[in-house]
């Protein structure tokens, strides 16, 4: 059991995510004509940011991102055709591919449909103030290669 699982025994975090998502108004459906609205339209696209190790352990962050976020994202996408999501790092996707093949298949399908987008696509985002420039280039190169091999 991860420390976050111990903390969240009553699934309060999971429950809170669903309570928030149920309160969000659906601003668009297939009948909405945004051309006729005389004001700017703002789209909010949710995302998750994976921390390798910051406050919790690597396993805790996998649990948070996979169990508490991405599995719910897949369910939301399946139930709401207007829902979209953004993932920014391929390290998390690689872990899902190796350990959650059904979830990875769903995510791959939604990436190909344009319902999940990979923004940036670094392998693992690193603190740009600390590493040498070569580290940043390698993170980008590894991430982009993974995306090309898996989703193109």
Q: Where are the domains of the chain?
A: 3-151
Mean pLDDT over 103-115 rounds to 96
Count Cβ neighbours within 10 Å for each residue of 67-98 and write b for 16 or more, e otherwise: bbbbeebbebbeeeeebbbebbbbbbbbbbbe
pTM value?
A: 0.73
What value does the mean pLDDT of the chain take?
Answer: 80
Judged against a pLDDT cut of 60, whether residue 29 lies above it is answered with no
Judged against a pLDDT cut of 60, whether residue 28 lies above it is answered with no
Q: What CA–CA distance (Å, rounded) separates 123 from 107?
A: 17
Per-residue pLDDT, 55: 79
Judged against a pLDDT cut of 90, whether residue 35 lies above it is answered with no
Per-residue pLDDT, 94: 95
Q: Which fold has domain 3-151?
A: 7-stranded beta/alpha barrel (3.20.110)
């Amino acid at each position: 059991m991860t420390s976050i699982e111990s903390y969240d025994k009553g699934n309060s975090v999971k429950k809170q995510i669903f309570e928030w998502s149920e309160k969000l108004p659906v601003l668009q459906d297939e009948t909405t004509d945004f051309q006729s609205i005389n004001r700017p339209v703002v789209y909010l696209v949710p995302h998750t940011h994976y921390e390798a190790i910051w406050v919790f352990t690597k396993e805790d962050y996998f649990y948070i991102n996979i169990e508490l976020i991405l599995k719910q994202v897949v369910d939301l996408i399946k139930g709401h055709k207007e829902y979209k999501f953004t993932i920014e790092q391929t390290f998390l996707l690689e872990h899902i591919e190796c350990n959650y093949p059904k979830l990875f298949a769903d995510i791959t399908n939604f990436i190909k449909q344009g319902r999940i987008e990979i923004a940036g696509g670094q392998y693992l985002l690193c603190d740009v103030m600390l590493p040498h420039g070569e580290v940043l280039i390698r993170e980008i190169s590894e991430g982009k290669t993974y995306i090309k091999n898996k989703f193109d």
